[in-house]
Structure 1
Amino acid sequence: MINASRHLKHIFQYHKTKPCSSLAIPRFRNHIPFIGSRLYRYNLLATQASPEEEVTAEVLNQILTTIENAPKPNGEICTAYVDKLCEAGNLSAAARLLQSLRDKHNFRSPKAYNLLLGAASERHDIELLSQVFKDLLVSQGSLSSTSYLYVAKAFAKTSDGIQLLRFVKEVSAMTSPSATVINRIIFAFAECGQVDKALLIYDLIKSLSCKPDLITYNTILDILGRAGRTDEMLHEFASMKGAGIVPDFVSYNTLLNNLRKVGRVDLCLVYFRDMGENGVEPDLLTYTALIESFGRSGNIEESIRLFKEMKLRQIRPSIYVYRSLIKNLKKIGKLELAMKYLEEMNSCLTDLAGPNDFKRRRR
């Protein structure tokens, strides 16, 4: 049985001994391993030192022939070759292989693309990574979060903002007017701790045909809130409304939760009222932030009022809300009332809201 490593080695050795001009390309279709009735696999063993020289067009064509002649599905075989080419340091050859398969409308493996994206990211090879990412967009359309994280990690060690903005412009031109791909790029940069670069991308898209949408603004509000940049968060919230984009419950909950963290109870109430005026219904997250905020500030009466209001709206409390209320009641010496809510909590433990109740879907 010939695995991908040995097959590549065989091809390289053959081409070393034969001049390209007179090379008769051998056929490897009979060497495809067969397991069961439909499952075709390459056993990925540790490879010996693979050649790192430039892969010729003829070698690449031979690999393509092997993939194309393999019984379907051939994605695993393609992935095996890309893996070995990356392992050998031949990233450009792996990119050419995937490009050729795409041009021929052949089966493309998302895993193969991600292997190459990961290898390019580790090298911080921005040019190659940009090419592969765009090829993947054309080929697959919908990308995994892993693909976006590889992009963000590739830019981690560069301060070249021009290179980043050029990449974003090119991607935007491919995906406009939808902001989905750009939103996911911004989110990936934030996930990798590159807040300033995420905000740089956000500032850029305001001037592009791919304009910020509700998800863009919600992402930016969360980034700024987590970074403790409260004033900037509030400014972007105002900008969102100024751009004619109506905030949703995610927008308001992001504001309220981050205002709670910095003790801005006064503003929590302002935006809670604004939420109602705009017809956005509060949920468990909304009330959790408010009850916690007012309780910590000593305004326990408002916490209790909000707690009762939440139950009147038939929003099930969570154990966290109960514990927050009980803790703050004890803090100000209202032990009898604290015991009342403790007994109430213990009597309905099985009916309390769980983690899934915090995940509200947009309508």
Structure 2
Amino acid sequence: MLAAGRRIQLILPCISLNPSFNPALSLHSVYSSIFRISRCYLATEASPDKDSVSDEVLNDFLSVIENESAPSVEVCSAYIDKMCNAGNVSAARKMLKVLHDKNIHFSYKLYARLLVMASQKNDIDLSCQVFKKLLLSNESIGTTVYLNFSQAFTESSDCVELLSFVKEVLEMSRSSISVINRIIYAFAKSGQKDKALLIFDHLKRANFTLDLITYNIVLDILGRSGRMDEMLTEFASMEEVDIVPDFISYNTLINSLRRIGRFDMCLLYLRKMVESGIEPDLLTYAALIESFGRSGNVEASLELFRQMKMMKIRPSIYIYRSLIANLNRAGKFQLAAELSDEMNSSSTCLAKPEDFKPKGRQRKS
């Protein structure tokens, strides 16, 4: 009873402070709603039969909606919260439909919680419904919400519903490309790379206008999947749709080629990057210098080191140590000693860890 009393104390102020609260409303209807919710909480704590508890919550909810002309948002939210605790997807779906018909909306936080439950149950239909509610809200949707939405599809091999939903998003959202990009990223992040690429291919076939961010996400997906031919094809296709690659595009391409040992192509695209007026960053040079050095091509790593310094990019102690170790391994001890002296004499002006964080690069005029 103490637990029920505490919940009544929490619910009652919420109801009285609600803008839609009508002081003329009979106290009997308000307290009856609170009593029903409290009784459901007590039933949950006392009984392991979640199905019977869910039925009771649903019936009480429908009774409140039917008998009260202006049911409190807080009371309706309490019922939804209770159903989330019970994990009853079908009942939650019924509640959501009733509230939609009554034009009753609740908090972003509760919609997000409902989405978690729906995605955990792999309920695609409910996940899509709730996700649309979140998109139409005035709240900023975080990455976690997108990931929760994508996880609802993990057990599904039929992508008809997914593509149908993507079409709806494009029709309903003002910032649709931003939303679509985040959906593609979320599917890739949740391990559903094929579905992410399917969305991309579908949009391309539909001649939907994609942007640089879309292509950068897709290049990363293809590169991490080892699908190098497809990655190079998509990189080349950017020019066909008048999208100019940026330093992220080139870095993604170069690092993917580096991972499979295609150092010749790394240098080719590094050269194209520079010719396009896009500055390589410290991360690009650090990765390539170490890779060429480890492969035994110390001359190429030294040439990259010289280029980096010519472009006024400060070397880090890690680059120096990598070069020195690889030169010693190649038997070039004198050159390794010279670099060691250079490193020690310039220790105060070496690149710091924060310089390794990717930064935006402006195209040279």
Aligned to 1:353: 352
1:192-271 pair list within 5 angstroms: 192-208=190-206, 210-271=208-269
Higher alpha-carbon deviation: 55-64 or 345-354: 55-64
AA of the residue aligned to 2:278: V
Aligned to 1:3: 7
Does the Cα contact within 8 Å between 1:179 and 1:210 map onto a contact in 2? no
Cα offset, 1:203, TM superposition: 0.5
Cα offset, 1:281, TM superposition: 1.4
Aligned to 1:110: 108
Q: Which residues of structure 1 form unaligned runs of 5+?
A: 8-22, 32-43, 70-76
Q: Deviations over 1:203-246 (max 9, x none)?
A: 01113464221001000100111111111111110011221100
Distance (whole Å) between structure 2 residues aligned to residue 177 and residue 112 of structure 1: 23
SS of the residue aligned with 1:179? helix
Task: Give the structure-1-normalised TM-score.
Answer: 0.78
Distance (whole Å) between structure 2 residues aligned to residue 67 and residue 28 of structure 1: 15
Aligned to 1:91: 92
1:276-291 pair list within 5 angstroms: 276-291=274-289
Aligned to 1:122: 120
1:145-156 pair list within 5 angstroms: 145-156=143-154
Task: Give the structure-2-normalised TM-score.
Answer: 0.78
Q: Deviations over 1:89-137 (max 9, x none)?
A: 2322553477479x45x6x533212111110001111111111101110
Distance (whole Å) between structure 2 residues aligned to residue 4 and residue 165 of structure 1: 45
AA of the residue aligned to 2:357: F
Going by fraction, where is helix more abundant, 1 or 2? 2
AA of the residue aligned to 1:354: P
Instruction: State the Cα RMSD in Å.
Output: 3.4
User: Is 1:170 aligned to 2:173, yes or no?
Assistant: no
Higher alpha-carbon deviation: 292-301 or 44-53: 44-53
1:23-42 pair list within 5 angstroms: 26-28=29-31
Q: Deviations over 1:186-213 (max 9, x none)?
A: 1111111111111111101113464221
Distance (whole Å) between structure 1 residues aligned to residue 294 and residue 43 of structure 2: 59
Runs of 4+ deviating beyond 4 Å:
4-7, 28-31, 44-47, 60-64, 96-101
AA of the residue aligned to 1:218: N
Choose from 59, 63, 85 the match for 2:64. 59
AA of the residue aligned to 1:114: A
AA of the residue aligned to 2:358: K
AA of the residue aligned to 2:85: E
AA of the residue aligned to 2:351: L
Q: Deviations over 1:62-113 (max 9, x none)?
A: 69744469xxxxxxx94x5533221122322553477479x45x6x533212
SS of the residue aligned with 1:159? coil
Q: Which residues of structure 2 form unaligned runs of 5+?
A: 12-25, 35-40
Aligned to 1:137: 135
Distance (whole Å) between structure 2 residues aligned to residue 293 and residue 29 of structure 1: 71
Does the Cα contact within 8 Å between 2:120 and 2:152 map onto a contact in 1? yes
Choose from 183, 186, 201 the match for 1:185. 183
AA of the residue aligned to 1:237: F
What is the aligned-residue identity percentage? 48
Higher alpha-carbon deviation: 169-178 or 130-139: 169-178
SS of the residue aligned with 1:280? coil
